[in-house]
Amino acid sequence: MSPHSPGRPQNRLNFSGGPGALPASVLLQVQQAIAEVPETGLSILGISHRSDWFAAVISELETNIRTLLGLSADYHVLLLQGGATQQFSMVPMSLLHGKTRPAEYLHTGYWSGKSLPEARREGPLRVVWSGEAGGFRRLPGDDELPFSADAAYLHYVSNETVEGLQFHRVLGRDDVPRVCDMSSDFLSRPCEASRFSLIYAHAQKNIGPAGVTVVLLRDEVLRNAPDDLPGFLDYRSHIETHSNFNTPPVLAIYVVLLVTRWLIDDIGGVARMDQINRQKAELLYRLLDGSHGFYRGRAAARDRSMMNVAFNLGSPALEQQFLAEALAAGFSGLPGHRAIGGVRASIYNGLTLAAVEELAVFMEDFQRRHG
């Protein structure tokens, strides 16, 4: 493996779309915690979710998320299970069920597409804009988004992980509750959290392993929620129990805590994280743009994602060769999502600028040999 270096806890660089790369220092702490969490004398895999130690983990994690995003006290910070997919249902079950006013949804790619049928099950829905006919290669401009004042809420995905499309502005009207799936760019940049009524993000793209989903929500958004929801699917159950309604994923939550400590102490906050993420993304986009068509970026330049750089090569055969050689050279996770193929370099928080530089060197060399 050429990118191997001493002290790195894994042999390959991880460009996977998710579960994604985590900081090396976090992985080393997790190894230690699996052997023993010093304060408890126990392996984290066997620590009770009712312990004081775990209550302190939840409490510090909540505080760290509030600090990183500058969240005001009127937001609840919940740690739930079921992934972002469960939020596709939980959101309309609480906010749309029994309503006559439609919720407005944007259909900007693979993941927002998955949210639509779940919402339709619960109530009326209006798709304000769809990029499907155009193959999801761009996002709408404001002049293409006729939002209405009487919508139940607006739902959109801030970063379309599969297609590599990202909104670089907040959408919608201030008098309609905004709901956003930030699964693949949460804590990668400042997000003006106070302009959203509900934000959800599972951990496994940017902030931890699979198994835990962060939900930030304002009380008022639940004002008219139905009273007969299953307890597990009712946000109020999790609010009342401080995210300890049933056995939570203790290990996954602990890893997210370690990532937030790393963001605060080692990186210096989400604005600094954003600068680093932009450097990584710009390095790759410059390379695509300067390759004279050898590498072809998928997304319209204005809507390019800072997290997922999706591109194609001249032919499927050349793409296969690229992916095989990249894997042999130590770059893992580069095949595009099975829905669209191609190549996708996911460059989440945990992946270093140095790793992206190594990939860029490989890509330039590959082009020299095959261009």
Ligand X SMILES: *Cc1c(COP(=O)(O)O)cnc(C)c1O
Catalytic choice (129, 185, 205, 274): 205
Q: Is 129 a catalytic residue?
A: no
Binding mask 53-92 for ligand X (x = CB under 6 A): ------------------------------xxx-------
| Alpha-helix runs per DSSP H in the chain | 24-35, 52-69, 83-95, 110-120, 235-240, 250-262, 270-289, 316-328, 353-370
For residue 158, the minimal CB distance to ligand X (Å) is 8
**Catalytic: 181?**
yes
How far is residue 148 CA from its own chain's centroid? 28
Is 109 or 123 the residue whose CB approaches ligand X more closely?
Answer: 109
Rg (CA), the chain: 21
In the complex with ligand X, which residue's Cβ is closer, 207 or 313? 207
Using rule CB under 6 A, residue 256 touches ligand X: no
Name the minimum Å distance from CB 309 to ligand X. 15
Per-residue burial over 76-112, b if 16 or more Cβ lie within 10 Å, else e, is: bbbbbbbbbebbbbbbbbbbbeebeebbbbbbbbbbb
| Mask for 152-181, x = binds ligand X (CB under 6 A) | -----x---x-------------------x
Whichever of 199 and 363 has its CB closer to ligand X, that residue is 199
If binding is defined by CB under 6 A, does position 183 make contact with ligand X?
Answer: yes
What is the CB neighbour count within 10 angstroms for residue 264?
A: 14
Using the minimum distance from each CB to ligand X, give the nearer residue, 198 or 287.
Answer: 198
181, 185, 234, 274: which one is catalytic?
181
Q: How many residues bind ligand X (CB under 6 A)?
A: 12
Opening angle at CA 97, ends 96 and 101, nearest 5: 50
Position 260 contacts ligand X (CB under 6 A): no
Report the alpha-carbon distance of residue 249 to residue 251 in Å, rounded.
6
User: Tokens 């159950």 correspond to what residue?
Assistant: 237
Token pair listed for 74: 């009127």
Cβ distance 157 to 109 under 8 Å? yes
Residue whose CB is nearest to ligand X in the complex, by number: 83
* Pairing verdict, β 308-312 and 296-297: antiparallel
Q: Does 138 contact ligand X by CB under 6 A?
A: no
- When binding is defined by CB under 6 A, the residue of 15, 105, 111, 167 that contacts ligand X is 111
**Closer of 163 and 363 to ligand X (Cβ):** 163
Q: Give residues with Cβ within 8 angstroms of 368, minimum separation 6.
A: none
Pick from 76, 138, 178, 202 the residue near ligand X by CB under 6 A: 202
Tell whether residue 184 is a contact of ligand X (CB under 6 A): yes
Assess whether 111 carries a catalytic annotation: yes
Mark residues 5-34: x for contact with ligand X by CB under 6 A, - for none: -------------x----------------
SS3 203: coil
Cβ(213)–Cβ(256) under 8 Å? no
Which residues are catalytic, by number? 111, 181, 205
State the residues that interact with ligand X by CB under 6 A: 18, 83-85, 111, 157, 161, 181, 183-184, 202, 205
